[in-house]
Amino acid sequence: MRQCFIISQPRAGSTLLQRLLATHPQIQTIGEPWLAIPFVYALREKGVSAEYIHVSMAQGFGDFVSKLPGGRADYFQEVRAMLERLQQKIPAPGKTYFLDKTPRYHLILEELAEIFPDAKFIVLWRNPLAVVASILKTWKEGRFDLRYYEQDIFRGPLNILSFVEKRAAAICELRYEDLVRQTESSVRRVTDFLELPPLQSVSLPEKDLLKEAKLGDKTGIHKFQSVSTAPVEEWKMEYRSSVRKFWAKRYLEFLGQERLHRMGYNADDLIASVNTAANSTEQLAADLGTLGWRTFRALERPPFYRTKMKTRNERRSYG
């Protein structure tokens, strides 16, 4: 089977696109398989926390790979062959594409293209403030706490943009907002890109096998049985405090007008949308409480303790 990847930030609508494409008779897909992640990080000394000493494993494994006749290229060739064999073991009559939707692939895009040089990539953009809003609402129950998602929020767009600039010919770009508003034409762009016949009917399946997957957007799968435009506007409700509005402006400044424009968005328009959200004293109080508690936790431990823990964590968690 040929390889196809949906590339996006988490909470950017990739599960919706996957659900729509899963109805195509020639596309096989299964939740979020994360197939390539461990094989790429086996060569990286940073970014993994494990019971074993990962940095030593990566050094030893990298030394072994360097002794192969083709080095890294030989290794990735074998990884590709193994992953394709595993995919073929899953019954898939009539399927010609394996669609892999793993949002954290934004961390390994260059290696992913090395492993699968003939793969097709579908890049799905979403208003970055809406991505953050969805993270807060879905994973943090509305609390303004982004500590564990900074790599997705800050590194994600930059990683994807860098990849798109290098490999535009093998990439189909979509915006989430267009996907929910012009669903049929957006999906048709993807099937044309994959050189597949168009879907006779573009809709979410009644029997959605992705509901059984362990990973993916469980909230959206169970909430929406048809494509909805509601999330295009609802995200603003997560920016009803002055703290979040200030953060949103700084975040867009970090991304920059040029990057946002390349993604299909305008910073001034996004800030104007945020400012339309009525201020909530309840949300502001919660935000100040969250920030205050984090500050207190950072200050309550003496400096020598924080230094000791930092050193210990650097030994155990590289990156």
Domain ranges of the chain: 2-318
Q: What is the dihedral of CA 67, 69, 70, 72, to 10 degrees?
A: -20
Structure tokens at 102: 């793993």
- pLDDT at position 273, please? 95
- pLDDT at position 266, please? 96
β-sheet bridge partners, residue 99: 4, 29
Q: By the 8 A CB rule, do 283 and 240 touch?
A: yes
For the chain, list residues with pLDDT below 70. 207-225, 296-319
Structure tokens at 115: 């492993």
- pLDDT at position 201, please? 87
Structure tokens at 290: 């969250």
Q: By the 8 A CB rule, do 65 and 72 touch?
A: yes
How many Å apart are CA 106 and CA 123, to the nearest integer? 10
- pLDDT at position 314, please? 46
- pLDDT at position 316, please? 46
CATH code of domain 2-318: 3.40.50.300
Could you report the per-residue pLDDT of 269-297, keeping only the tens digit for each?
999 999 999 999 999 999 999 988 777 66
- pLDDT at position 227, please? 86
